[in-house]
Homo-oligomer: A and B are copies of this chain.
């Protein structure tokens, strides 16, 4: 008797028409039955936002021929919530995948990432979950070399599962002439964005700003995602949604309040 194919929920933050989700759907269709619920427009930088105090749209999409696909007006986290509670109902997915993001979500960017919020929402719901990102922000980025790694990591998770309550943050180096050296399990580098605000005047003379920034990494550890990517490895960071700084509890418990 044939083994039942795994049910895989696919989402992203660049929107359902992006090249990244197309690549991800292609790989997932080789591995299981696929359902897509993804934003109808780009949601980059949305972090773990959800739609509060406003309505949500969810409509069938014909963008992926032969697949059950939906576009949603909300955030990536909204998409996973709607998928679980409305689209899939009691039919739990075996895996939630998100991406492939156009641009890195390594280090501190995991916090701002809509891609990772969809994966983390999957983990909160109790499903194995992976967010995939390519270190190339271009809308026309070449994803061809990512397929091998996306497939390998997904197969591993489908076969062996994940530790409880975590989602994987997978970043893949951009295409280059040098071959990727392999896959590294990493910790999140202790780095941050140094913002620059470009001040301009609109046609009515009123001030506005563009936020730009430079990524600053003082963390020289060779066990970080930044080190792995800089050295042409695919990085995998297991991420959790319990933000408690357990190591700080004893210090705070000495407070006399």
Contacts and interface: CB of A to CB of B under 8 A. Distances in A.
Contacts of A48: 47-49, 111-112
A192 B124 contact: yes
Identical copies in the complex: 2
A108 B49 CA distance: 13
B49 A242 contact: no
A239 interface: yes
Interface string A188-200: 1010100111010
Interface of A is mostly: mixed
Contacts of A206: 57
Interface stretch (A25-33, A93-101, A208-216): A208-216
A50 B50 contact: no
Max count, chain B CB within 10 A of own CB: residue among A195, A207, A211: A211
Q: How many residues of A sit at the interface, in one of the four size bands?
A: 35 or more
A37 B251 CA distance: 31
A85 B211 CA distance: 10
A251 B236 CA distance: 13
B236 A252 contact: yes
